[in-house]
A and B are shown apart, each in its own frame.
Chain A
Amino acid sequence: MISQYLDFLLNRTGSTALIFIAFAGLAAWFTASTKLRIAIGLLGILFSTFYEISDEAVFEWLTSAVQRPSPTGFIFLIIFVINAATSHDFKPNSEFRFAAYTFSAAGLILYPGAVGFLSFDPYVYGYSGYLLPSTIAVLLGYSIYKGYWISTAAINLGLCMYVLEMGPSLNFWDYMIDPIAWVFAIASCIAILIYWVVPNPFGRIRNIKISQKQLS
């Protein structure tokens, strides 16, 4: 019974985080107040549990679609929850970039085959064999070498949960990555690329608008 309730809650962590990020992130366009953003994020979660589409709450639809995040993906998602609430910019942080690049690359290897685009499914490497553990060992070694302690802890959390079979899946991939983490990682990589090409693009756009106003 306890595991059923725990499953129920864990299955909803991804959708809760996503809705919070969406509402708090939207609130960031018109308020800098962290408290107000958190409040709007929480109100968004509340709203989604009552607003129904086809006799089902939006929150439940989203839960059914995204399911529970992987342990590592959940920690990655927390960064975006913090970002939505505080506007803290994680892009300059090298550990964040490491996580974003790693999730992006892993997802690009895993998902096209898993959804049927390729004639081979790399998901099978998550059941047995040494390829995936060896790759994770290299990533862990690099994290330790660089002093990326949150990444090291996140990977170890995933490893512990897999070894103890604490999740419903017996596939190693499911403890290391999930589609939502991948989507956020891809979006982060695109943002990192944009900011690398054009530093502070939104500031520039704002400055251009101010200049145009001054000229007129």
Chain B
Amino acid sequence: MINWRENNTWIATILVALSITMIILILIKMAPTSQTWSFAQHVQAQDDSTRTIFETLDVNPKGEKRFMHAASVVKIPEGIIAVWYSGTYEGSRDAEIASSRFDGKNWHGMSPIANSDSLEDEIGLHVKSVANPVVFRHENGELWLVFAVSRLSGWATCEILLKRSRDDGKTWSPATRLYASAFANISHLTKSPPVQMNAGLIGLPVYHEFLAKYPVFLIIDSSGRVVDKRRMGEGGYVGFQPTIVTKNEKSAVAFFRRLRDNTASVMMTKTEDAGQTWSSAVPTNLPNPGGAVSAVRFENDQILLAFNDDPEFENNITLAVSDFEGLSWRRVGIVADEASEKSEKYKLTYPFLLETQPGLFDLVFTKSPKRRFNSPKFKDQVERAIRHVRISNEWINSQLNKVQ
């Protein structure tokens, strides 16, 4: 019971008044806002060209021995820029995020963006390693780079950092942290580009790794702070590394890689309320060996998906097209095939697909040795590469016509 005589009355009065004021302010501040979410709609420009482009290049210089992985690309005025991470091995302390530029003919100007030491200085916390950089253009014109850093050991202790660039990737701001979890801000990782939403918000598909893997949809405001989050696939442990394609202001479909013990298919979930809720995950009729997938909108009313067309091995990167139901897929063709090369030393993983110009798609993925060729014994016999495939609308349609 309140004993006003024993307590300092004036302190108690101030605390009571403060409490009432604060509760009112909190109720105002926390008024629900998610009902106003919607996806920004960009009508794709018509592709009038009849160019049939299919070309393959290596983003990095030949003969690379260091581990390199998880590339992403974004359009810049002079061409495109790719970012990826490399190091002595996956999760090594010397890992860094590197970038390179493509002028339409060649890749050049490989340069580091960040490493564990520089990030430690920027966020003031121990950083063990870096991974999965995703670069994209914010609607304010800046390039944003989100990536995972492990603070202790292993990817389960990851959090997401953000860097921004106002000069198309020539210089980058110090990293800031995205707060997305109640438990010491672990463990979320990036893989796919975000979707643009209204009011300057972006919806970033990420995944949770600690104890259980599942896909998560983060809402980030224009200052780069997480303002909301939702579990995808109705909260099930259904897969991870989601990639989202928006259909209209409220509808979108997301695809993700399966968990080891799930059906060997690419998994799919949908939203009809701009990401507030996501349906139960269902398998598509595309196989999935447990590898990452990447999807973009194709000719306004279809989806183009890059995936490994095998239930067991990541031997190829294949493209397929479907309507927004995601249930009937037509294979465009295999754009990279390791099984047909001289030896099956390599696997092809982590496709990242983006329409960088109307009717022109850029696909990057990792070529790396399989587990049994990954030991120091084979160090001089294997190479690693970030591979780039550029394909045009016309090529995709000609391939689809061949299939028909």
Q: Which residues of A contact B (CB under 8 A)?
A: 4, 7-8, 11, 55-56, 60-61, 63-67, 110-111, 114-121, 123-124, 126-130, 132-133, 136-137, 140, 144-147, 149, 152-153, 155-156, 159-160, 162-163, 168-174, 177, 179
Check if B214 is an interface residue, CB within 8 A of chain A: yes
A-B contact pairs, 12 of them (CB 8 A): A67-B125, A121-B231, A127-B227, A129-B30, A130-B32, A133-B27, A140-B19, A145-B2, A147-B1, A152-B19, A163-B22, A163-B29
Check B124–A7 contact: CB distance below 8 A.
Answer: yes
Residue in A121, A136, A160 with the greatest tally of chain B CB atoms within 10 Å? A121
Check B25–A163 contact: CB distance below 8 A.
Answer: yes
- With contacts A127-B229, A130-B30, A163-B22 taken as known, whether A147 is within 8 angstroms of B15 at the C-beta atoms is no
Check A119–B231 contact: CB distance below 8 A.
Answer: yes
User: Which residues of the other chain, B, contact A179 by a CB distance below 8 angstroms?
Assistant: 182-184
Inter-chain CA distance A152–B127, complex, in Å, is 37
Check B182–A123 contact: CB distance below 8 A.
Answer: yes
Check B26–A66 contact: CB distance below 8 A.
Answer: no
Q: Which of B6, B212, B225, B234 contacts A117 (CB 8 A)?
A: B212
Check A67–B185 contact: CB distance below 8 A.
Answer: yes
Check if B152 is an interface residue, CB within 8 A of chain A: yes
Closest to A111 in B: B183
Inter-chain CA distance A43–B183, complex, in Å, is 29
User: Which residues of the other chain, B, contact A66 by a CB distance below 8 angstroms?
Assistant: 184
Check if B23 is an interface residue, CB within 8 A of chain A: yes
Check A64–B151 contact: CB distance below 8 A.
Answer: yes
User: Which residues of the other chain, B, contact A160 by a CB distance below 8 angstroms?
Assistant: 22
Check B208–A149 contact: CB distance below 8 A.
Answer: no
List residues of B (1-31) whose CB comes within 8 Å of A's CBs. 1-3, 6-7, 11-12, 15-16, 18-19, 22-23, 25-27, 29-31
Q: Which of A110, A120, A130 contacts B182 (CB 8 A)?
A: A110
Check B22–A172 contact: CB distance below 8 A.
Answer: no
Inter-chain CA distance A156–B26, complex, in Å, is 11
Check B210–A159 contact: CB distance below 8 A.
Answer: no
Check if B211 is an interface residue, CB within 8 A of chain A: yes
Check if B226 is an interface residue, CB within 8 A of chain A: yes
Residue in B16, B19, B34, B214 with the greatest tally of chain A CB atoms within 10 Å? B19
Check A133–B15 contact: CB distance below 8 A.
Answer: no
Check B179–A170 contact: CB distance below 8 A.
Answer: yes
Inter-chain CA distance A201–B34, complex, in Å, is 52
- With contacts A61-B126, A172-B30, A174-B182 taken as known, whether A116 is within 8 angstroms of B210 at the C-beta atoms is yes
- With contacts A123-B229, A163-B29 taken as known, whether A168 is within 8 angstroms of B18 at the C-beta atoms is no
Inter-chain CA distance A60–B121, complex, in Å, is 13
Check A147–B2 contact: CB distance below 8 A.
Answer: yes
Check if B33 is an interface residue, CB within 8 A of chain A: yes
Closest 4 CB pairs of A and B: A119-B235, A116-B212, A169-B179, A64-B126
- With contacts A65-B184, A168-B179 taken as known, whether A140 is within 8 angstroms of B27 at the C-beta atoms is no
Residue in B12, B183, B211 with the greatest tally of chain A CB atoms within 10 Å? B183
Check B181–A132 contact: CB distance below 8 A.
Answer: no
Check A128–B33 contact: CB distance below 8 A.
Answer: yes
List residues of B (85-116) whose CB comes within 8 Å of A's CBs. 93
Inter-chain CA distance A160–B2, complex, in Å, is 24
- With contacts A8-B124, A63-B125, A156-B22 taken as known, whether A123 is within 8 angstroms of B181 at the C-beta atoms is yes
- CB proximity of B179 to chain A, nearest CB, Å: 4
Check A149–B11 contact: CB distance below 8 A.
Answer: yes
Residue in A60, A111, A136, A168 with the greatest tally of chain B CB atoms within 10 Å? A168
Q: Render B218-231 as a binary contact track against A, CB cut-off 8 A, 1 for contact.
A: 00000001111111
Check if B79 is an interface residue, CB within 8 A of chain A: no
Check if B177 is an interface residue, CB within 8 A of chain A: yes
User: Which residues of the other chain, B, contact A115 by a CB distance below 8 angstroms?
Assistant: 183, 210-211
Check A144–B27 contact: CB distance below 8 A.
Answer: no
User: Which residues of the other chain, B, contact A61 by a CB distance below 8 angstroms?
Assistant: 126, 152
- CB proximity of B169 to chain A, nearest CB, Å: 24
User: Which residues of the other chain, B, contact A132 by a CB distance below 8 angstroms?
Assistant: 30
User: Which residues of the other chain, B, contact A149 by a CB distance below 8 angstroms?
Assistant: 7, 11-12, 15
Q: Which of A116, A126, A152, A155 contacts B208 (CB 8 A)?
A: A116
Check A170–B2 contact: CB distance below 8 A.
Answer: no
Check B15–A64 contact: CB distance below 8 A.
Answer: no
User: Which residues of the other chain, B, contact A124 by a CB distance below 8 angstroms?
Assistant: 228-230
Closest to B225 in A: A170
Inter-chain CA distance A170–B15, complex, in Å, is 24
User: Which residues of the other chain, A, contact B31 by a CB distance below 8 angstroms?
Assistant: 128, 130
Inter-chain CA distance A160–B185, complex, in Å, is 22
Q: Which of A133, A144, A147, A171 contacts B26 (CB 8 A)?
A: A133
User: Which residues of the other chain, B, contact A130 by a CB distance below 8 angstroms?
Assistant: 27, 30-32
Closest to A57 in B: B126
Inter-chain CA distance A2–B177, complex, in Å, is 17
Check A159–B2 contact: CB distance below 8 A.
Answer: no
Check A120–B231 contact: CB distance below 8 A.
Answer: yes
Inter-chain CA distance A171–B225, complex, in Å, is 10
User: Which residues of the other chain, B, contact A145 by a CB distance below 8 angstroms?
Assistant: 1-2
User: Which residues of the other chain, B, contact A155 by a CB distance below 8 angstroms?
Assistant: 19
Closest to A177 in B: B182
Check B19–A156 contact: CB distance below 8 A.
Answer: yes
Closest to A147 in B: B2
User: Which residues of the other chain, A, contact B27 by a CB distance below 8 angstroms?
Assistant: 130, 133
Check B125–A64 contact: CB distance below 8 A.
Answer: yes
Inter-chain CA distance A135–B146, complex, in Å, is 35
Check if B236 is an interface residue, CB within 8 A of chain A: yes
